[in-house]
Amino acid sequence: MSRVRAAVLEEAGRRLQVEELELEPPGPGEVMVRLAAAGVCHSDLHVIEGDLPVPLPAVLGHEGAGVVEAVGEGVTRVRPGDHVVLSWIPGCGRCYYCRIGRPELCDEAARLQVAGTLPGGALRLRRPGGAPVHHFLEVSCFAEATVVPERGVIPVRPDVPLDRAALVGCAVTTGWGAVVHTAGVRPGSSVAVVGTGGVGLNVVQAAALSGAWPVIAVDRVPAKLELARQFGATHTVDASRTSDVIGAVVDLTEGRGADYAFEVVGRPETIASAYGMARKGGTVVVVGVAAPHLEVGINAFSLPSQSKVLTGSWYGRSVPEVDIPHILDLYMAGRLKLDELISRRYRLEEANEAFDALRAGEVARGVLLLGG
């Protein structure tokens, strides 16, 4: 049994509380990871604000990296000392979706997201006295250490700084995969990206790497648009200065609309905007995670008459075991930016300040440094 400090959400609407918890050793097929860094993501914020119902109390955090400390019985993927990035969709490998090559849609992972446990119902986090604390997305990386399923650890090269590697656990892979896997953006295609936070910037840079032109970034925060230019945006639309972002994108794409439009905010109005700014026959990819009760209105006649492809992208339709090491290779080769994504670094005790900054739109990505 280890003692670890962790940021616990007791109930929705409350602030996170850093407490000392007991972490049980890894069971069969499980891995204990000493965490170095965790990214602060909007999906955690959805849970804090009550828009994403999960079992509480829980240790949040799903974008993390660290070093393997111990492995449970039967684990062969990693051994102590290995550097790993955590995957928040550890595909079971057995369900229909895993078998057809869509592990991001894994039935078991989806069930465990709602259950707040590890496979088999295991709970490895407890308060002194024994009261269990739930896991979040089988990761729970707002802690000094965590226990995760073997399938949730992705071994990575040891020369990558772990605070940068952590970001590839969610934001980078989600944005990258939306472009590369979901949309399959081809060189010369026009791309519009609505929302240039941590994930949106990675849509922008993956589109630029794919040879897209123009790459149009749309956001309400001028500083984020400036960052989007650094990440490869060729044009920007400041949504705080125009009430017709659709028209602005249409004007920048020879009056047609974009070949590919990505929504990376998670709001009904921005999803409708992304749909509107795609050209006839174009592709609309919804990456942003909206609260589960929201609905979107789009013009019904346009569905057949404009024949757009409207799809979602969950975790970038990625295969984390393949994509995460690949993305880190690109970073180490100087082809992909990660350093510039980190706006601020925080201690675990400053987790609430990190979320305040995220809520205020002040950061691309905040990272908690966890000491591992």
Active site residues: 41, 43, 46, 62, 170
CB of 301 to other proteins, least distance (A): 7
Give the residue from 62, 108, 109 showing the smallest Cα distance to 89. 109
- Smaller CB distance to other proteins: residue 137 or 277? 277
CB of 235 to other proteins, least distance (A): 14
Q: Which of 302, 335, 340, 349 binds other proteins (CB under 8 A)?
A: 302
Integer-rounded Cα Rg, in Å, for the chain is 20
Residues 100, 103, 108, 114, CA torsion sign: negative
First-to-last alpha carbon distance for the chain, in angstroms, is 18
Phi and psi of 248, rounded to 5°?
-65, -45
> CB–CB of 58/8 below 8 Å?
yes
Assign 194 to helix, strand or coil: strand
- Smaller CB distance to other proteins: residue 205 or 273? 273
Q: What amino acid is encoded at 49 in this protein?
A: E
Q: What amino acid is encoded at 198 in this protein?
A: G
Q: Which is it for strands 58-59 and 2-9: parallel, antiparallel or unpaired?
A: antiparallel
- Smaller CB distance to other proteins: residue 146 or 273? 273
- Smaller CB distance to other proteins: residue 2 or 306? 306
* C-alpha distance from residue 288 to each of 178, 179, 235 (Å): 11, 13, 21
> CB–CB of 140/59 below 8 Å?
yes
Residues of span 111-130 touching other proteins by CB under 8 A:
none
CB of 200 to other proteins, least distance (A): 20
Q: Which of 298, 310, 332, 357 binds other proteins (CB under 8 A)?
A: 298
Largest CA distance in the chain: 66
Q: Which range, of 69-77, 107-115, 151-159, 299-307, touches other proteins by CB under 8 A?
A: 299-307
CB of 199 to other proteins, least distance (A): 23
What 8-state DSSP symbol labels residue 16? P
- Check residue 299 for interaction with other proteins (CB under 8 A): yes
- Smaller CB distance to other proteins: residue 209 or 310? 310
Q: Which of 17, 230, 305, 311 binds other proteins (CB under 8 A)?
A: 305
Judged by CB under 8 A, how many residues of this single chain contact other proteins?
Answer: 21
- Taking the C-alpha atoms of residue 191 and residue 185, their distance in angstroms, rounded to an integer, is 8
- Smaller CB distance to other proteins: residue 218 or 327? 218
Q: What amino acid is encoded at 133 in this protein?
A: V
Find all residues with CB under 8 Å of 277, minimum gap 6, and list them.
Answer: 192, 194, 245, 246, 249, 250, 257, 258, 261
- Check residue 307 for interaction with other proteins (CB under 8 A): no
Residues of span 179-218 touching other proteins by CB under 8 A:
none
Q: Which range, of 76-84, 103-111, 163-171, 294-302, touches other proteins by CB under 8 A?
A: 294-302
CB of 190 to other proteins, least distance (A): 15
- Smaller CB distance to other proteins: residue 105 or 296? 296
Residues of span 229-288 touching other proteins by CB under 8 A:
242-244, 246-248, 250-251, 257, 272-273, 275-277
Structure tokens at 199: 């994930």
- Taking the C-alpha atoms of residue 184 and residue 200, their distance in angstroms, rounded to an integer, is 16
The residue ranges that bind other proteins (CB under 8 A) are: 242-244, 246-248, 250-251, 257, 272-273, 275-277, 297-299, 301-302, 305-306
